[in-house]
Structure 1
Amino acid sequence: MTSLDLIIVLFYFAMLIGVGVYSSKKIGNESDYLVAGRRLGYGLYVPAMTAVVLGGASTFGSTKLGYQYGISGLWLVGMIGLGILGMGIFFTKKLSKLSIFSVSELLGNRFGNSSRYISGLVMAVYDIMVAVTAVVAIGVMFSALFGWSSATAILVGGLIVVFYTMLGGMWAVTLTDVIQFWIMFIGLIGILIPVGIYHAGGTSGLVNQVSPEFLSLTNIGGKAIFAYFLLFFFGMMIGQDIWQRAFTAKDEKILRKGTIYAGVLCIIYGIAGAVIGMVASVVVPGLADPQQALPQLVIKILPTGLIGILVAAVSSAVMSTASGTIMASSTIIVNDFILFKSTKNRTEKEKIKLTRIVTLIVGCIAILISLVLQDIIVALDVAYAILSGSIFIPVIAALFWKRVSAKVALSSMVISAIVVIADLIIEGVSSLNAIIWGVVACAIVMGIGTLVQNKNTPVVEEVNKNI
């Protein structure tokens, strides 16, 4: 990478730090720090919601699958987009009426404190693990970019994200995500695809050089498509990082339409990633590691200056995920454990200070885990399986089924979590059946429990009046 490319990348990182400092001046209360004051319009909300879900896994994953399977590589990110669309269509009317900060707070208000703690623990661990994967990816990029050791790269890259997230809260995360959104879309769709297609011989040249299967939407296989549906569709609709962005919208109209727009943009991004992978299969064929399709294509076809923009674009994708999940985990810890259990009356400034401290600690924990834990995917898979298999149905019930009691909801969460963990032990952590059996067990316990319970069984109603 040339000096010009390096200057572009360093300028981008300096800009992120500057945004953190600027955003800190916009923080007046807890709502400003956690949900950007609940006052975002389309111009900020749509890019921020889109960027938080389009991380390094989405970017590298879609290009890798495009390299291997052609246009059907879109399904990984496509299911993420469909999950966001589903949330926009089915959840936003309810969410717009809730003055809460977390998914766990909803479950706690609706089903009692035990449900709040269990769901909060699962979500906090899950978000930390997602942050760890993002910090590791940042470290890999920084190591390749600057020639640093892996540990140094993780420390520097991780601390940049932690710094602006801690300082500016959701305002910093939102503003940096908007910047990252535009860099991602301009870099990958506006620059890399046109230049890549040109080097592949134009659209007709690309089509003629790939195998016919690469043009089929089902080439990746029905099993893989179903797997992506299980893994991403449900999780996107109940993720704390996603809900926390939803709570930043100014009103119901922006929340609903903006979330739907974000879902559509995610699908477009998935298509773009698959196309980039197809282009790479023609321009840089025979790669031993398909994960290298994107960086090798960038190095092969882009001139000085544009390489720096694309490096910034890929960094953007990863950093947006890291900042969003660090923020999500710290929000749950503060809102659903520390402040909820505390009897001390804190001022808004004290709450902000506390949340900043927790955000710093969570970020440092993510960095530390990135340095010492070799197989983070195991922890991530377990947390995600429990999240989707045990929390999805209770969230649906909290929003749409008022007769479910606290005891039934808690039982369904605990039993389904046991089922998920048992399946993971028996079939391995990569088992998709764990999510299926978890959802089925949760639905059965909740359905039967609600039908057989005494009609006079008390139902927690604190949230019901708002939904």
Structure 2
Amino acid sequence: MISIYDYLVVIAYFILMIAVGIVFKRMNKNTSDYFRGGGSMLWWLVGATTFMSFISAVTYTGAAGKAYETGTFVFVVYMANGVGFFISYLYFSKRFRQTRVVTAIEVVRERFGKVNEQFFTWMVVPFGVIHGGVWLYSLGIIISTVFGVSMEMTVLSVGLTVLIISLLGGSWAVVASDFMQLMIMVPVAFVMAFLSLREIGGVGNFIEQLPTSQYNWSELTDSKIVWLWFIASFFKQFFSVNNTNDGYRFLAVKDSEQARKASLMASILFFTITFIWFIPPMVASIMFPDLSAIESLKPLGDKAVDGIYLAMGIELLPVGMIGVMICAIFAATMSSMDSTLNRNAGIFVRNFYKPILRKSASEKELFRVSLITTVFLGGFVILSAIFFSELEGINLFDINMRLGAMISLPFMIPLTWGIIFQDTPRWAGWSTVLLGMLVSYIIQTHIGPETLLDLIGVAKPWSKRELIDVMFFSNVFAVIIICSLWFLGTRLFKKTSPEEYHKDVEDFFVKINTPVDYEKENGHKGYDQQQFKILGNMCLIYGSFLTSLVLIPNDLVGRLCFVFIGGIMLSVGIIFKKKYTKSKK
């Protein structure tokens, strides 16, 4: 299934990622550098990590399986991300940067007070571990299938690798590695899409042979469910993208305008790359209508659909490029995991350890505790992934969506509206979250999908797909509507909080509406040259390696695939080196 050349590619990738951590380690002088790069990063770096942190191995497993079964239906979530980031470009991203803090929960403290700071700290960190476990388990499915080892061993080895890379260089290494990973993922996606379409005779044959259910969603389920799921996805992703907790990425960017550029970059990537990503699993629905006929998927048993992207890679990619695809899938999960580890460690250290446990802690002590915390959180993520691997019959795409709707969404709402609306009491934040979780609990345990399907008039018999989808969008609508009304309604009781609190909130809003002048506020021009130099050199080195793989015995098309992937990375490296040379003059 995998050749010596593929192993060589994977090993070279790991060496590159570790090198990124080592190179950027020297740029971490304090916790601000370790957790947000000192707020000195350029827009293209932050734009890359912003996009990558919303992509994980679920994209290649659960979401690809969804594309195999339902076609264009899966595009909705990724298009919704694109819309969310475009709204961020218009309003939110620059305001997140203008908070001028190190962690997202510091924004919570300044906006809602110290009680909310602790409440949201202990909401974000544990649930981040759960999400990290889902991402790592998704990656484990792919890696264990390719290398033929147990899921537990896969999760442990991959988790430790991600932990080590995250530990080495902090946010600088996290963001730089995300950029390098993007440079691998996107070209691989184009190669996979090209080879898939070539296999069935081109775009025309693809459109002609594609099952009508792949684009006529009413064949999949009742049209009411389709449109309600569609609308719910857009609303959910709006809050997922534009809440204070997930806006932490923009804390690292250099200034207000570059924050907007980073958000626009992420939006454009979601609108364009998504279509390319899901062509291979949709082609697979034509080539392999019966998954049991695919030999490489048999180890996955009843979870075979989650391995369809891998199966297409094994079927179509030239020798050596399966390793590149594995690197791309690994990159997807690593970008989500390392960002989560780094963010959550920052939240624990700066929003709990320092204000509660050690108010007099020095920067040196905080930095040391940051490393220890990263190790512990990484261990918990690994244990979480092992737990998910023991569950039978779970669908990765659905569990990811339901976790977002049930757990994440309730605390996203006050963290989004809190950046827009000023005159709320200090208890508005935590009370909205608790209400949202109560609403989710009632819907999941006391109402049930059958009651909801009856309510919206969907005729029996109900499919498993309909039972799952109605729970998702019902939860989303109920939480968003009820929590938004509650949060906005608390404005009527703003006088229940002391005047000092409202004065602090007023100062906070003045700050987030004041553009960042990096040079004036920091006393220097930043590290623009270093970013172009280091990333340019890495692109040239790894691009040269990928281009050299043209020497692997393959047909002409296979060799040209390596030229394409390596050539893109080399081109970016040359552009960056020219930028660096020009900036020195």
- TM normalised by structure 2 equals 0.74
Contact 1:17 1:160 in 2 (8 A): no
In the other structure, the counterpart of 2:279 is 275
Alignment partners' CA distance in 2, 1:382 and 1:66 = 18
Q: Does 2:367 match 1:352?
A: yes
1:44-193 pair list within 5 angstroms: 44-189=45-190, 191-193=191-193
In the other structure, the counterpart of 1:465 is 510
Contact 1:390 1:438 in 2 (8 A): yes
Q: Which amino acid aligns with 2:508?
A: V
Q: How many positions carry a matched residue from both structures? A: 465
Q: 2:268 aligns with which of 264, 280, 286?
A: 264
Alignment partners' CA distance in 2, 1:267 and 1:51 = 14
Q: 1:178 to 1:450 in 2, by over 3 A?
A: same
Alignment partners' CA distance in 2, 1:198 and 1:174 = 35
Deviations 1:365-422 (A, max 9, x none): 1112222453498997776345554323322342122211213444333333333333
Identical columns (%): 21
Contact 1:102 1:243 in 2 (8 A): no
In the other structure, the counterpart of 2:550 is none
In the other structure, the counterpart of 2:441 is 421
Q: 1:446 aligns with which of 487, 498, 513?
A: 487
Contact 2:93 2:247 in 1 (8 A): no
In the other structure, the counterpart of 2:252 is 248
Contact 2:118 2:352 in 1 (8 A): yes
Measured after TM superposition, the shift of residue 213 of structure 1 is 4.5
Q: Which amino acid aligns with 1:447?
A: L
Contact 1:131 1:321 in 2 (8 A): yes
Task: Tell me whether 216-225 or 158-167 shows the greater mean CA deviation.
Answer: 216-225
Measured after TM superposition, the shift of residue 116 of structure 1 is 1.5
Contact 1:126 1:380 in 2 (8 A): no
Measured after TM superposition, the shift of residue 217 of structure 1 is 7.7
In the other structure, the counterpart of 2:404 is 384
SS at match of 1:421: helix
Q: Which amino acid aligns with 1:157?
A: V
Deviations 1:136-171 (A, max 9, x none): 223333322332222221111100000011121111
Q: Which amino acid aligns with 1:19?
A: V
Measured after TM superposition, the shift of residue 297 of structure 1 is 0.8
Structure 1 spans left out of the alignment, 5+ residues:
none
Q: Which amino acid aligns with 1:422?
A: I
In the other structure, the counterpart of 1:320 is 335
Task: Tell me whether 231-240 or 92-101 shows the greater mean CA deviation.
Answer: 231-240
In the other structure, the counterpart of 1:396 is 416
Q: Which amino acid aligns with 1:224?
A: W
Measured after TM superposition, the shift of residue 312 of structure 1 is 1.2
Contact 2:36 2:251 in 1 (8 A): yes
Alignment partners' CA distance in 1, 2:497 and 2:288 = 68
Deviations 1:95-140 (A, max 9, x none): 1211123332222222112211222222212211111112222333
Contact 1:392 1:439 in 2 (8 A): no
Task: Tell me whether 172-181 or 40-49 shows the greater mean CA deviation.
Answer: 40-49
Q: 1:237 aligns with which of 223, 235, 242?
A: 242
In the other structure, the counterpart of 2:300 is none
Q: Which amino acid aligns with 1:273?
A: W
Contact 2:105 2:120 in 1 (8 A): yes
Q: Which amino acid aligns with 2:269?
A: L
Task: Tell me whether 154-163 or 12-21 shows the greater mean CA deviation.
Answer: 12-21
Q: Does 2:214 match 1:214?
A: yes
Please provide the CA RMSD for this pair: 2.6
1:362-381 pair list within 5 angstroms: 362-373=377-388, 374-375=390-391
Contact 1:389 1:434 in 2 (8 A): no
SS at match of 1:400: coil
Q: 1:393 to 1:301 in 2, by over 3 A?
A: closer
In the other structure, the counterpart of 2:376 is 361
Alignment partners' CA distance in 1, 2:365 and 2:284 = 52
Q: 1:310 aligns with which of 302, 325, 341?
A: 325
Alignment partners' CA distance in 2, 1:369 and 1:303 = 35
Q: Which amino acid aligns with 1:346?
A: A
Contact 2:57 2:136 in 1 (8 A): no
Structure 2 spans left out of the alignment, 5+ residues:
221-225, 293-303, 450-467, 513-585
Of the two, which has the highest radius of gyration?
2
Alignment partners' CA distance in 2, 1:166 and 1:218 = 48
Task: Tell me whether 367-376 or 312-321 shows the greater mean CA deviation.
Answer: 367-376
Alignment partners' CA distance in 1, 2:338 and 2:416 = 27
Contact 1:123 1:239 in 2 (8 A): no
Task: Tell me whether 451-460 or 279-288 shows the greater mean CA deviation.
Answer: 451-460
Q: 1:426 to 1:331 in 2, by over 3 A?
A: farther
Q: 1:339 to 1:421 in 2, by over 3 A?
A: farther
SS at match of 1:399: coil
Alignment partners' CA distance in 1, 2:136 and 2:177 = 16
Contact 2:40 2:253 in 1 (8 A): yes
Q: 1:427 to 1:274 in 2, by over 3 A?
A: farther
Alignment partners' CA distance in 2, 1:278 and 1:416 = 36
Q: Which has the higher contact order (CA 8 A, sep 6+)?
A: 1
Measured after TM superposition, the shift of residue 239 of structure 1 is 6.7
Deviations 1:216-275 (A, max 9, x none): 5887632432343354332222273x4222111111111112111112202322211232
Contact 2:86 2:264 in 1 (8 A): yes
Alignment partners' CA distance in 1, 2:59 and 2:437 = 27
Task: Tell me whether 400-409 or 302-311 shows the greater mean CA deviation.
Answer: 400-409
Q: Which amino acid aligns with 2:259?
A: L
Q: 1:457 to 1:157 in 2, by over 3 A?
A: same
Measured after TM superposition, the shift of residue 215 of structure 1 is 4.4
Alignment partners' CA distance in 2, 1:324 and 1:219 = 39
